[in-house]
Structure 1
């Protein structure tokens, strides 16, 4: 850990002591931790503890505050991938000696005022989870927005903390904050289980604050449900329609907002022939069911055009037994015997 890093942190902490902003200090602590290499953490914290100056004490307190919630300070299940990295900060912060301004104690002590969740793009390839907060004294209202990539399985790929008015341009539907916070934690936890997950370069700096905010929301729901399928009311009244829709629901799984031309094509030309056993009525009803779902999912012209391009081939593809996957072949052989 170079002297430059330490000196810069102390200088920045001196400015923060003048600003008296819990939010700025939390975000700074996240950026500071993200910029330290693993081997630099312990020497950096040790030097801060030896200094005992107000700037060093603030730095230790801020690093501890934003990482303490990662260890599950709210009582909710924590994100395991960050527990080990958080422990040095929380231990060092517990040893802070000497007085600090009262506003320092407000860090991470926030009240959640609302939650929103929905598509981040027309096809739902990325969804956005948003939560609004303010500190317990009513000051510094702010918005956390986490980008969750659906194509990669639903992992968190980016996050920002903005003014609440940032929400005005997102057009996200309101959702119970406990559900939104649960989705945020689910998304970070999934990312920790995926080796080499590609995320935005800016995410590590915001991550501790994002996790702290999600843990601060009461009545967390884990795993967080999605009511998109339950809100679908336009199932065509056709023989085999329900059977076809059940296969569509199986395909979209826990990522029902993602419905792009590429996903439509995969469903009709690859997944159904490989995985699904359908009656003739179910096969015949499937194109109209997919059209109805596509209209419900935004009615985008490119998606509807893809349905029209691929649907005429469905019956022939379903009849081609060479396309069936192993699981489907085993199920078919059981049925025939």
Structure 2
């Protein structure tokens, strides 16, 4: 009769040489890689899926006595200490000399670095084992993407000193990046709260070591102090705040440079509509900052969001790139960004205009709802006339219900 192989058997086979590794860090890296496959295939709440897998593994292997089985059990118990049964896992009789160093690390430094636009922030923390047998000092680097509101990638490795020096040199030679020491509690908070969103994604970011290093990163984050207050993303501007900001912008040299300060009549209405779109787009981000514009944010707006969310007439479409260039320049000055940063954003927007015009012309990125409203306007139907609107819907129902 054929032997039944379970996922737990597969893990035991993959970890058959774990007790022969040189140090605790190597064993923890093997353990996190094995659990990374569980994290990657989970459809949602991936952190819980890993914890439940470890709980099941510890229960299913409780009678295993080989050196590799008892060692990988201890590795998993230290990586996922809140798994059921983790607190009852003991070293095996043939435990390697470094076994008691598993998970016994302390923080040696915290830093953060990122781009001046605010698109992404990377958090770097270094850790050392309490005793040399545990392994070398190592670094955890977590990349938080503020445009999508997730921890996009995680890396754990070493040597810590070399990684830190490479980051320092990179930031020192690029005026569009910054580098600073970071409060451990803030690092814990920022990475963890964005990681919680990542854990619940249906599809993970395709590149990097997020899945394989997620579990050991979680174990390292758990060692850091928690913030006294849990940070929350800022609220979008109130109507009064939006009005005040628009007035300040229209009185700015950037608005004057693009001829926006003297508009009236239909042009003025189109200008205010374009500005409302910029503010609505900013409010759709987790940080809801109307002054955070970069080449990436401009691309998300001009080549994607506005086509899915807004119906533009020809005057709006002709004016929108100009308004965006003026607003991005104004925002860069208000935030104190280097001139080169403002220039890069302006040049990027200018280069996007042909593609923006093409997308506007084809309507290929319109959502079904936006496409329906665009057709409604093209047919000359007044949305404020209930009878005309009802008649149009009835006449076009077969189009509106097509997939």
The residue aligned with 2:14 is: 8
Question: Whose RCO is larger (CA < 8 A, sep 6+)?
Answer: 1
- Answer yes or no: is the 8 Å Cα contact 1:287–1:307 preserved in 2: no
Match status 1:207 vs 2:204: no
Alignment of 1:9-158 (within 5 A): 9-10=15-16, 12-16=17-21, 19=22, 21-35=23-37, 45=58, 48-68=61-81, 71=82, 87=83, 90-91=84-85, 94-96=88-90, 98-99=92-93, 100-101=95-96, 103-119=98-114, 124-137=118-131, 140-158=136-154
Structure 2 counterpart SS, 1:296: coil
Displacement of 1:222 = 5.8
- Answer yes or no: is the 8 Å Cα contact 1:134–1:140 preserved in 2: yes
Match status 1:195 vs 2:202: yes
- Answer yes or no: is the 8 Å Cα contact 1:52–1:97 preserved in 2: no
Q: Give the total of aligned pairs.
A: 272
Displacement of 1:185 = 0.6
Stretches of structure 1 that go unaligned for 5 or more consecutive residues are 72-86, 228-238, 275-282, 311-321, 324-337
Question: Matched residues in 2 for 1:115 and 1:59: separation?
Answer: 29
Aligned CA distance change for structure 1 residues 223 and 185 (closer, same or farther; 3 Å): same
Displacement of 1:155 = 3.2
Alignment of 1:160-239 (within 5 A): 160-164=156-160, 165-170=162-167, 171=171, 172-200=179-207, 202-220=209-227, 223-224=230-231
- Answer yes or no: is the 8 Å Cα contact 2:74–2:89 preserved in 1: no
Question: Matched residues in 1 for 2:122 and 2:330: separation?
Answer: 27
Aligned CA distance change for structure 1 residues 252 and 188 (closer, same or farther; 3 Å): closer
- Answer yes or no: is the 8 Å Cα contact 2:74–2:91 preserved in 1: no
The residue aligned with 1:316 is: none
Question: Matched residues in 2 for 1:255 and 1:50: separation?
Answer: 53
TM norm structure 1:
0.62
The residue aligned with 1:314 is: none
TM norm structure 2:
0.53
Displacement of 1:191 = 1.5
Deviates more, 1:202-211 or 1:212-221: 212-221
Displacement of 1:243 = 10
Give CA-to-partner distance per residue, 1:15-40, whole Å, 9 cap, x none: 12xx1x12111111111222457798
- Answer yes or no: is the 8 Å Cα contact 1:125–1:150 preserved in 2: yes
- Answer yes or no: is the 8 Å Cα contact 1:156–1:184 preserved in 2: no
- Answer yes or no: is the 8 Å Cα contact 1:31–1:205 preserved in 2: yes
Structure 2 counterpart SS, 1:105: helix
Aligned CA distance change for structure 1 residues 253 and 189 (closer, same or farther; 3 Å): closer
Displacement of 1:44 = 5.2
The residue aligned with 2:346 is: 304
Displacement of 1:220 = 3.6
